[in-house]
Structures are given as C-alpha cells and as structure tokens.
Amino acid sequence: MYWISVTALGAFVYFYLKGRKKNEPGEVKDEPTEKASEKGRVPDPEMKNLHTPAEMLKALKKIKTPWERHLGYIQCLEPAYKKRAMDQKMRDLSKDLAQAYVKEFSELKAAVFEKLGEDPKEVIIFKQLAILFEEDREYEKAIDVCRNAIALGLSDGTKTGYEGRLERLGKKLKARLNKGGDQ
C-alpha cells in the first residue's frame, strides 16, 4: 500500500512541476505553428460568436484560403452539432452548414488532402451530415452523403467506413419502406 502512495505523490509532483514550468512569469510564448493550425486552430476567433447560417456563411466567404475555410466550417459546425439534440435551431444550423460544406468540398479537397494526407479521417463533416439525416430518418439523403464521401475517397474513421454506414442505412430504408411508414 505504501508504494501506491509514493507513486501517487511522485505523479502529483511531476505534473505540478510540469504545469508550473509552462506558466512561469516572463516566459515568451512561441507564435502558433502550422501544427496548431492542423489541429483545428480557427482562422477567425470571432466566428464563435455568430449564430445563424447566414452570418456564418458570410464570415466564411471572407476567408480566402481553402484550408482556412475548411477550418472555419469545422469551427462553426462543432458547437451547433454538439447541441443538436437539445435545440432544434442548432440542429437546423448544423444541417445548413454541413450541406454548404459538402457542396463546396470539391474546391477545398486539394488543400484538405494536402494537409491531412490521402486518408483524411478528420473530414468529419460528411459523417456528421449523414448522422443528422439518419437521426431525422431521412435515409435517402444520408445514403447520398455516404455515396458522395466514398466517391471523394473519404473515410469516416470507423471500422466499416462509409461502406458499412451505407449498408446499415440501406437496411433501415428497406425496413421503413416494407413497413409502409416511419420506423
């Protein structure tokens, strides 16, 4: 039992000192690197304060580079998507932004693939849109999104990928059609 206490104390001291070194006064912080940008760093911090699709799309049009536009879409969509189950306005906002992104993706694809590589699992907006349509039982639209993603060479980061998602959506659609209504 003694060794557990010593280990816990050692871990506490380690992390305390590690955090203290980062926050010492007078330390000059480096400018953000491209790595930070790749992890979703936002091109415009004010975009978090925009609340309607029209405001967000207007702000996105001001962003000229495809990579920053991609990041801008992610930044705008993320908070709305997280609140989609609690608020219908957020759900509608998520759908509008995701559909605008999907329409524009052919223009953004080269920059996204350049930054993320040829297997860009971080292009999650297609997956989010498919999930939104599936949750609303709009299976045909979700199937179209999956087919589009497959044609563009995207992956959704799951074991079965868009192909598996497509198969599951097809089964749900077939069951709904056989039942003659909503499932």
How would residue 145 be classed by pLDDT, with cut points 50, 70 and 90? very high
Q: Is residue 27 part of a domain?
A: no
Angle at 78 between CA 139 and CA 166, to 5 degrees: 25
Q: Is residue 89 part of a domain?
A: yes
Domain count, the chain: 1
75, pLDDT greater than 80: yes
Radius of gyration of the chain (CA): 21
The alpha-helical segments, DSSP class H, found in 83-160 are: 88-116, 125-135, 139-151
What is the CA 102 to chain-centroid distance, rounded? Answer: 13
Q: Is residue 44 part of a domain?
A: yes
pLDDT digits (tens, 9 = 90+) for 150-170: 998 888 888 898 999 999 999
Higher pLDDT, 117 or 4: 117
Q: Is residue 111 part of a domain?
A: yes
**CA–CA distance, 151 with 102 (Å, rounded to integer):** 12
87, pLDDT greater than 50: yes
Higher pLDDT, 135 or 24: 135
Q: Is residue 23 part of a domain?
A: no
Q: Is residue 1 part of a domain?
A: no
How would residue 139 be classed by pLDDT, with cut points 50, 70 and 90? very high
Q: What tokens appear for 12 in the block? A: 């506490």
